[in-house]
Amino acid sequence: MIFWDAVRNKKLGVRFVRQFSIDGYVIDFYCPKFRLAIELEGKIHKFQKKHDEHREKYLKAFGIKIIKFKNEEILQNLNTVLSTVSPLLHQERG
């Protein structure tokens, strides 16, 4: 819940939702305003690469940008992760 605590309640200036579902695909964290999905990847993702590729392609068809971080990155470098995400939340949508 470290990432959720860092982004909930508009702490980065925009609303995020947790466990957002699109046609059965669940996005870990989603910012509707910027169609930005944040995916946290644990070890299970090593074993489901085909599924993840299909899911990513499907979500991108909806105009959703997906950024992935390993769980270890969140635990060890949360500020770096947030500094990667933050600029994407303050740009004009075209």
Q: What is the pLDDT of residue 44?
A: 63
Q: What is the pLDDT of residue 13?
A: 93
Residue 93 in this model has a pLDDT that exceeds 90: no
pLDDT tens column, 29-57: 999 999 999 999 876 656 667 877 888 99
Label the pairing between strands 25-31 and 17-22.
antiparallel
Q: How far are the Cα atoms of 33, 60, 72 from residue 76, in angstroms, in the given order?
A: 28, 28, 6
Global confidence as pTM: 0.86
Cβ contacts of 14 within 8 Å, gap of 6 or more: 31, 33, 34, 89
Percent of the chain with pLDDT over 70: 89
